[in-house]
Structure 1
């Protein structure tokens, strides 16, 4: 049986939770994605095709710009992805398609009669207003139609199941060592603040803000700048692009990050105190941050928040969503063998 993941390459959160699920699958899957997500899979020795190039978000000092233009570019990107997915699916004939917010592959799979699974943490988008929102509403209607046709929809949250939707709780990767072992591995001696900005350069403003405010603490700053930022920041330990951010998060005393869903889930699952600053105007990040008690404006009081979080105790570790999600996918694969 052949299982193929089509993972959205917008950021790294999609592919990291797909990696977490893949560890529990009965078959070794292949992956289709692009950019930093593909490079992460390559670092881990996974079977991956680097074929997607999504439109970049335009940001200025932590604020999303030109949302309407991005929406049009995303629509063109979707059409391109559909052509790419059509060729890969036609040539490879996978038995099951697993999509992490890549709706192009789902549309093709459903046209071809191939069982499809969707992993998602959003049920609609809200990037635009005015006339452009009418186009976005049409896209959301199409997205809901595709979701209804899926054999299975997996949401990484707790809650009730209904129809073809299963809520499995946060999906996070397994760690390979104890926290003490990881701190030794990463040379974390003092209290450690880790700054992570994901798979784009949109979070450079956050790195710069943390470096300013952390000067008033007695903690070391570690920067995980991701695949798109090569700059080295003075006054900090620069880790660059790592394949095991989840282990760095566990080893940290405090995490400061943009408000991507997967990073939030990892911090909560590993019990690491965290501060989440969303990109202003990015509805998904602002919603995620609000649930955690933060907003973009909190960047102005990072010094106060860092002092609080450095004194905060760690939470308990709890993670099981990846294994549950894999079990559901294994059942789908088995049912269509």
Structure 2
């Protein structure tokens, strides 16, 4: 290992999950004396800059992904946005090649950014979706994704290869790409035994407008409750604001350290069933209620899978009510099921 090597870490700006699961990777790189160059856009870049203010960064073209307000239009809207996403991927590829040519980058870790790679340096793609669920077009979308993955030197899947695992069929297709390595579930958090301060933590994330729609639903439902409720809005791109909405304490965003404490001191987490959230809650061994993003096949699949396994119940967004919380005690909650792989062992290729 050469301590002066610079590794580009570039998560997709699609909610906060891709950025947050890169945090333990960045920490491990720094611990091994690598230099790290951050690259992303929007709230993902804002979050990483908040976590690592000492690190240099570059801004990449935004994919500008947005969801429809209507579930049945989700796939159509994704298809309409695909040319824009491919254009952004092409633009980011040119930028990355220039950074490599300029000697700024010695290795690449891309979390789902399609164009962040270079044939001149070792390039890694991180994804938990080797099979991309898209309804009737799952076969096509999965084939296209695997085609992109094969262009990288390695594909790291943040899950365990053996059962039980967290991603199910998403990360464990019958024939994964040959460059696939299962690196274990990633989380920036550590479980701590702290006194319970909140009955419910409302943890919001994801692209608009669905993030705001869920915010409105949850704040309205809990405003007159006699329970202790904290709501984290998942909006790191501004100043940290704190206020009360009826009985609910609201904060615009939290740093990793603050959020780790908030989750550890909360009895039940109410959140999307995004994969990074699932990994975080498993690391902290928490009970939860999931509300999958309407129309997002991946989150709907994960919510149903974990419910069927007796781990976490779920409710659809349009049917959420406080009565749904009555199901939570009937489920065992999430936990890590295997020992973690040392990230430092994966860096030898750089």
| TM-score, scaled relative to structure 2 | 0.77
Q: Deviations over 1:244-284 (max 9, x none)?
A: 23442222211111121101111122011111111121122
Secondary structure of the structure 1 residue equivalent to 2:115: helix
User: Do 1:193 and 1:221's aligned partners in 2 also have CA atoms closer than 8 Å?
Assistant: yes
Secondary structure of the structure 1 residue equivalent to 2:194: helix
User: Do 2:9 and 2:26's aligned partners in 1 also have CA atoms closer than 8 Å?
Assistant: no
How far 1:79 moved relative to its partner? Answer: 2.2
Distance in 1, matches of 2:145 and 2:100, equals: 20
Structure 1 equivalent of residue 57 of structure 2: 48
How far 1:85 moved relative to its partner? Answer: 2.3
**Structure 2 residue 262 is the aligned partner of structure 1 residue 258:** no
**Structure 2 residue 154 is the aligned partner of structure 1 residue 152:** yes
How far 1:167 moved relative to its partner? Answer: 1.4
Closer, same or farther: CA 214–280 of 1 in aligned 2, 3 Å:
same
How far 1:319 moved relative to its partner? Answer: 8.0
User: Do 1:97 and 1:114's aligned partners in 2 also have CA atoms closer than 8 Å?
Assistant: yes
Closer, same or farther: CA 151–75 of 1 in aligned 2, 3 Å:
closer
Structure 2 equivalent of residue 292 of structure 1: 306
Bigger drift between 163-172 and 52-61 goes to: 52-61
Secondary structure of the structure 2 residue equivalent to 1:275: strand
**Structure 2 residue 241 is the aligned partner of structure 1 residue 224:** no
Equivalent in 7, 13, 20 of residue 11 of structure 2:
7
Q: Deviations over 1:33-76 (max 9, x none)?
A: 11111111111223322333222313327776423212232222
How far 1:101 moved relative to its partner? Answer: 0.9
Distance in 2, matches of 1:206 and 1:229, equals: 19
Q: Deviations over 1:289-333 (max 9, x none)?
A: 222225553652542332343687766677854x53x23432222
Equivalent in 245, 254, 257 of residue 242 of structure 1:
254
How many residues matched? 314
Distance in 2, matches of 1:102 and 1:78, equals: 7
**Structure 2 residue 210 is the aligned partner of structure 1 residue 206:** no
Distance in 1, matches of 2:331 and 2:147, equals: 44
Q: Deviations over 1:157-186 (max 9, x none)?
A: 1225974322122100144x83427x6xxx
Q: Deviations over 1:87-133 (max 9, x none)?
A: 22322342211111112012xx12xx31111211112434486xxx5
Distance in 1, matches of 2:315 and 2:87, equals: 30
| TM-score, scaled relative to structure 1 | 0.80
User: Do 1:157 and 1:170's aligned partners in 2 also have CA atoms closer than 8 Å?
Assistant: yes
**Structure 2 residue 182 is the aligned partner of structure 1 residue 167:** yes
**Structure 2: gaps spanning 5 or more residues:** 163-171, 308-312
Structure 1 equivalent of residue 97 of structure 2: 86
User: Do 1:64 and 1:282's aligned partners in 2 also have CA atoms closer than 8 Å?
Assistant: no
User: Do 1:67 and 1:127's aligned partners in 2 also have CA atoms closer than 8 Å?
Assistant: no
How far 1:285 moved relative to its partner? Answer: 1.7
Bigger drift between 310-319 and 87-96 goes to: 310-319
Q: Deviations over 1:186-214 (max 9, x none)?
A: xx3xx421112215342223233333444
Structure 2 equivalent of residue 16 of structure 1: 20
User: Do 1:194 and 1:222's aligned partners in 2 also have CA atoms closer than 8 Å?
Assistant: yes
Closer, same or farther: CA 319–216 of 1 in aligned 2, 3 Å:
farther
**Structure 1: gaps spanning 5 or more residues:** none
Structure 2 equivalent of residue 59 of structure 1: 68
Q: Deviations over 1:217-242 (max 9, x none)?
A: 64222111122798966121111122
Bigger drift between 46-55 and 273-282 goes to: 46-55
User: Do 2:273 and 2:292's aligned partners in 1 also have CA atoms closer than 8 Å?
Assistant: yes
User: Do 1:203 and 1:258's aligned partners in 2 also have CA atoms closer than 8 Å?
Assistant: no
Q: Which has the higher helix share?
A: 1
Distance in 1, matches of 2:329 and 2:249, equals: 18
Question: Which structure has the higher relative contact order (CA within 8 Å, separation 6+)?
Answer: 1
Superposed counterparts of 1:173-192, under 5 Å = 173-175=188-190, 178-180=192-194, 188=197, 191-192=198-199
